Every structure is written in C-alpha cells, then in structure tokens.
C-alpha cells in the first residue's frame, strides 16, 4: 500500500507542476481565423463558377461573420453571384446600390459602381427610365466612371456613332479595368461591328482577364457565330486560362452540338486542366444526353483526373441511370481510387438501388479498403436504413476489422443524436477491438455528455484494458462531473494501474475541482503514512 501511495504522490506532484504550464501554453495558441477560412472556401466556389453553392456559402458567411474584415468582399460577390444566377435585374441593381452605400472604402467600390451603371442602363433601356437618373448620379465618382456613364448614355441612344466612340475609347485606353467594362457595353449592342470587336478583344487583348471577360460576353450573347468562335479558341494553343474561359462560355450556349464538342474535348485533349474543364462545362446542360456524355467520358477518357471529374459530375446529377456504370467502376479491377470515389457518388444518389449497391460492396467485396470506403459512404448517406446496415456489420459481422470500422462510421450517423446506441452495441459485440472503438467514439469530444456513458462502462466491464480506456476517456471529457468518479477510483481501487490512470485523468481535466481531488489524494497518503508510523 505504501509503494502505491508513493507512486501516486509522485504522479500528482508532476501533474500539479505541469498544469499551470500547460494552461499558459494553451493560452498562447491563437485561435484559428474561422472567418478567413470560410471566406476563402466561398470565394473558391465563385472562382469555380459554382454559383448556387457560392450564393449559399456567401449568405452563411455574412450571417455568421458580420464584423469580419472580409465582409465587404463577401457582400460584393453576393451581388455578383446574383447577377450570374440571372436573378431579377432590379434586385441585383439594389444589391450593388446597397453595397456602394455601406462600403464606400471597399476595394470593390469601382467594380460595384461599374456594374451598377451597366445594369441601370439595361433597366432604362428595358422601359424603366427612373434608373437613368440613378445612373447619371454616378458621374461624379471618378474619371473612368464619368466616361462609362457617357458611353452607356450613347449606347442607350442606339446610335452607330455611340458604338464607334466606345470602340475608339477601347483602342486608346491603357486601363485594363476600363477595357473590361467596355467589353460589357459592347455585349449589349446587337451589331456585327460590336461582335467583331468582341472577337478581336477575345483573341488579341494583351490582358488575359480582359480576354476572359470578352469570351464570357460572347458566350452570353449566344448563337452559332459565338459558338464557332469559342470552339476556335478552345482548339487553339493559346493560354490555358483563356481556353478554360472559352469552355465555360461555350457551356452557357444552349446548342445541341456544344455538348458533343465538350465531350470530344474531354476525351481527346492532352491538357488535363482543359479536359477537366470541358467536363465541368457540361454541367450547364440538362437532360439525359448529358448523363450519357459523362458516362462516355468516365469510360473512355485516358486521363484519370478527367474520369474522376466525370464521376463527380454524375454524382451531382444524382440520376438512377448512372447506377450500372458506377457498379461497373467499383467492380472493375482497374482503378481503386476511382472505385472509392464511385462509392461516395453512390451515397449521393437517393434511389434505393444505390444503397443496395453499397451494401453489396460491404458484404461481398474482397478489397478491405473498398469495404471501408463503402461503410463511410453509407454513413454519409445517413437515414435509418444506413444506420441498420452499419449496426448489423458492427454487431453481427464476422470480420473483426470491418466491424471496428463500422463503429467509426456509426459515429458520424449518431453525431447529433446521442451515443447511447453505441453503448448498447458495445454490450452486444463479441470483439474487444469493437468495444475499444466504441469507447474511443465516446471520448472524442469534451463536455459532460459522455461522462454517464463511460461511468456505465466502468460499472459493467471487467476487462482491465477496457476499464483503463474508459478512465482515460473520463479525463478527456474535461468535465467536473467526471471528478468524483475518478477520485473514488484513485482512493479505493486496489489495482494500482487503475488508480494511477485515474490520477492521470484528473490531471488531464485540470479544473480547480480536479486539483482539489488531487490534493485530497495527497492528504489521504499523509494520513496513511502517519498511521503506519
């Protein structure tokens, strides 16, 4: 008994010394800048032209981080995304108007003003003259804005002279920003002269961004001539970014041959980025033909990244027609990485056949990595059927390793629903590793929620390793509710290893209540030593 107390005393002393130090170290760690990370994720969706997803992400950012240094950037891109989604022009106009009032110092101010003038002009031209007044009020906002306001006014007059003035200004100016805005003015002219100028800009402007804007404008105009030009740029050996912009612009043109052309580029292009972009550009199209094209790319593309892009696009569409080809990808002994990706695509398809396919992989596949991926794909899908599949594997499965992985997959399913079912699973399982996995999931987060469950484990279990794991888990909760449980073990447990684990767990909690418990253990040691003397 004396040796046990001496050992506990030494451990407590070390812990009491280290606790203040660990607190200081934790205080020195700066919290992660969540707003910057969230903004970059939303901005990445804008760059990828995932407009619906970008809109949602930007709205969530604005609600969660209204005081962020990135809020003006997010607000600007909210307006821009509304425009790309072709929302009502009046709403987009008001969005830019509010932005200009609220963020007069933003680096996006001039861009917002230019967009406001352009949209206001379109509204005035569409029979809402009140917007003309608002446009003219912008004339005092800077030299470039004055020029643009005058250009829009000339365009609204529908005069050929106005068009020529715009073209002359483009030829004279050295400002890429002004040239980019001129591109959008030219887009509104229904004139062969304007289209030819846009074509010239797209092919010859020295600034890649201006070229990309011209390609986008040509795509928005649509028509056979625009499609022909975009195809010419895509097939050329110009800058990769220019070709990518042309691909997205072509995807916006509603012509049957556009999808066939994009499919051919995805299958034959040697530049992987360009080939993948051709796949992404197909997302602008709808109908069964697009799914067929994606399946063709999935089966026939030489580049693995292109095949994977087609696979994810099939998943985004979520069509049951793709089930046979996804099963084929999974069962073929060719590309294991692509097979794993196909499993997660299956999880996004809501038809029951997709869940059946995942279950088939779990129960019949000879590839452990695929079985594991299928388990987590089922967890991603969620729902009662998914939960039943995972529980069956964890409780009744004959493969111990797979049963253990099923527990970790179930952790995702029960994330927001309490973990009591996992405790029941632990009682039923015949595998020690599965029981340990359950204990791990019960201790993966701080707070008192897991204390009662772990205390129940200590009451029910006789296995020393499991009991020690549960004790360690109580320390990881960082909860004062675990202190009396650990104190009782440290003071009364005959197994010195268990008592030592309880002391270490109290040190891990580190609260004033936990420190008081450690001092109580020391006092008991002093009393016992005096009694022995």
DSSP 118-148: HHHHHHHHTT-THHHHHHHGGGGG-HHHHHH
Beta strands in 274-428 (DSSP E): none
pLDDT tens sequence across 288-345: 578 888 888 988 888 889 988 888 888 777 666 778 888 888 887 567 888 888 888 8
Is residue 159 scored above 60 in pLDDT? no
Residue 89 has pLDDT above 50, yes or no: yes
SS3 at position 319? coil
CA 78/CA 106 separation, integer angstroms:
14
Task: Tell me the two tokens of residue 219.
Answer: 């795509």
Q: Residue 30 has what DSSP assignment?
A: P
Burial of residue 528, with CB atoms counted within 10 A of its CB: 0-12 exposed, 13-18 middle, 19 or more buried: middle
Residue 364 to residue 350: CA distance in whole angstroms: 22
pLDDT in tens, 450-499: 788 888 888 888 888 888 888 888 888 888 998 999 989 888 888 888 88
What does the alpha-carbon distance between residue 56 and residue 69 come to, in Å, rounded to a whole number? Answer: 19
Residue 359 near residue 389, CB atoms below 8 Å: yes
Local confidence band at 78 (pLDDT 50, 70, 90 cut-offs): very high
Helix 208-221 to helix 224-235 angle (10° resolution) is 150
HEC per residue, 214-260: HHHHHHHHCCHHHHHHHHHHHHCCCCHHHHHHHHHHHHCCCCHHHHH
Selection from 4-18, 53-67, 253-267 with the highest mean pLDDT: 53-67
Domains contained in the chain, CATH given:
382-442 (no CATH), 444-533 (1.25.10)
Four-point Cα dihedral 423, 425, 430, 436, nearest 10: -50
pLDDT for 256 beyond 80:
no
CA distance linking residue 197 with residue 183, whole number of Å: 9
* Max Cα–Cα distance, the chain, nearest Å: 112
Nearest 5°: phi and psi at 139? -65, -25
80 and 108 Cβ atoms separated by less than 8 Å: no
- Whose tokens are 């909690």? That residue is 509
Which pLDDT does position 473 carry in this prediction?
A: 84
Please name which of 461, 500, 531 lies closest in space to residue 6, comparing C-alpha atoms: 500
Q: What angle do CA 470, 475, 480 make, to 5 degrees?
A: 120
pLDDT band at 365 (very low <50, low <70, confident <90, very high): confident
What is the per-residue burial (b if ≥16 Cβ within 10 Å, else e) of 53-64? Answer: bbbebbeebbee
pLDDT, mean over the chain: 81
Other Cβ atoms within 10 Å of 277 Cβ, number: 26
CA distance 214 to 211: 5
Q: Which of 407, 411, 409 is nearest to 425 (CA)?
A: 407
Q: To 5 degrees, how large is the angle CA 315–CA 53–CA 376? A: 45
Cα→Cα distances 252→85, 87, 281, 292, 341, Å: 12, 16, 8, 19, 28
- How far does Cα 185 stand from its chain's mean position? 35
Q: What integer pLDDT is reported at residue 157 of this predicted model? A: 53
Residue 24: predicted pLDDT: 46
**Chain mean position to CA 90:** 31
pTM value surpassing 0.85: no
Q: What would the pLDDT profile of 414-458 be if each residue is shown by its tens digit?
A: 765 666 777 778 888 888 888 888 877 776 655 666 788 888 888
* φ, ψ (nearest 5 deg) of residue 509: -65, -50
59-68, 266-275, 312-321, 497-506 — which is least confidently predicted?
312-321
At CA 138, angle to CA 110 and CA 182, rounded to 5?
A: 55
- Tell me the pLDDT band of 141, cut-offs 50, 70 and 90: very low
Residue closest to 467 by CA, chosen among 506, 493, 431, 449 = 493
Identify the CA nearest to 115 among candidates 138, 140, 133.
138
How high is the pLDDT of residue 210? 93
């Amino acid at each position: 008994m004396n040796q046990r107390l001496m050992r506990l005393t030494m451990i407590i002393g070390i812990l009491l010394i280290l606790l203040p130090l660990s607190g200081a170290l934790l205080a020195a760690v700066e919290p992660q800048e969540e707003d910057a990370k969230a903004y970059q994720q939303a901005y990445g969706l804008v760059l990828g032209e995932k407009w619906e997803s970008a809109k949602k992400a930007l709205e969530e950012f604005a609600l969660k981080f209204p005081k962020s240094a990135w809020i003006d950037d997010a607000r600007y891109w909210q307006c821009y995304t509304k425009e790309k989604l072709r929302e009502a022009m009046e709403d987009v106009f008001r969005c830019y108007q509010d932005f200009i009032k609220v963020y007069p110092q933003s680096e996006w101010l001039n861009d917002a003003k230019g967009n406001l003038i352009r949209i206001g002009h379109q509204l005035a031209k569409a029979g809402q003259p009140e917007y003309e007044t608002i446009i003219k009020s912008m004339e005092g906002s800077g030299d470039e804005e004055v020029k643009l306001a005058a250009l829009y006014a000339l365009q609204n007059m529908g005069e050929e002279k106005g068009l020529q003035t715009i073209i002359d200004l483009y030829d004279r100016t050295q400002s890429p920003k002004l040239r980019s805005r001129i591109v959008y003015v030219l887009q509104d002219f229904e004139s062969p002269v304007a289209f030819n100028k846009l074509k010239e800009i797209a092919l010859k402007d020295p600034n890649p961004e201006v070229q990309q804007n011209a390609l986008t404008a040509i795509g928005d105009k649509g028509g056979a001539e625009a499609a022909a030009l975009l195809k010419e740029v895509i097939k050329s050996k110009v800058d990769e970014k220019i070709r990518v912009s042309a691909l997205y612009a072509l995807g916006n043109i509603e012509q049957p041959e556009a999808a066939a052309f994009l499919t051919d580029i995805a299958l034959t292009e040697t530049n992987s980025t360009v080939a993948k972009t051709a796949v992404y550009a197909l997302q602008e199209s709808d109908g069964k033909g697009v799914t067929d094209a994606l399946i063709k790319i999935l089966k026939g593309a030489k580049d693995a990244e292109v095949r994977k892009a087609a696979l994810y696009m099939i998943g985004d569409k979520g069509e049951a027609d793709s089930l046979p080809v996804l099963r084929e990808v999974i069962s073929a002994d060719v590309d294991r990485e692509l097979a794993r990706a196909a499993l997660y695509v299956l999880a996004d398809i809501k038809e029951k056949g997709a869940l059946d396919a995942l279950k088939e992989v779990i129960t019949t596949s000879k590839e452990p990595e695929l079985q594991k991926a299928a388990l987590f794909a089922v967890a991603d899908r969620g729902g009662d059927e998914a939960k039943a599949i995972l529980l069956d594997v964890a409780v009744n499965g004959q493969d111990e390793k797979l049963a253990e992985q099923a527990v970790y997959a179930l952790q995702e399913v029960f994330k927001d629903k309490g973990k009591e079912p996992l405790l029941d699973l632990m009682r039923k399982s015949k595998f020690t590793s599965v029981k340990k996995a359950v204990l791990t999931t019960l201790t993966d987060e701080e707070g008192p929620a897991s204390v009662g469950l772990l205390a129940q484990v200590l009451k029910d279990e006789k296995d020393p390793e499991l009991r020690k794991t549960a004790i360690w888990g109580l320390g990881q909760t960082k909860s004062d509710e675990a202190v009396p449980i650990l104190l009782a073990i440290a003071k009364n447990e005959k197994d010195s290893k268990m008592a030592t684990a309880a002391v270490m767990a109290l040190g891990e909690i580190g609260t004033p209540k936990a420190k008081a418990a450690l001092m109580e253990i020391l006092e008991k040691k002093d009393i016992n030593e005096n009694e022995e003397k």
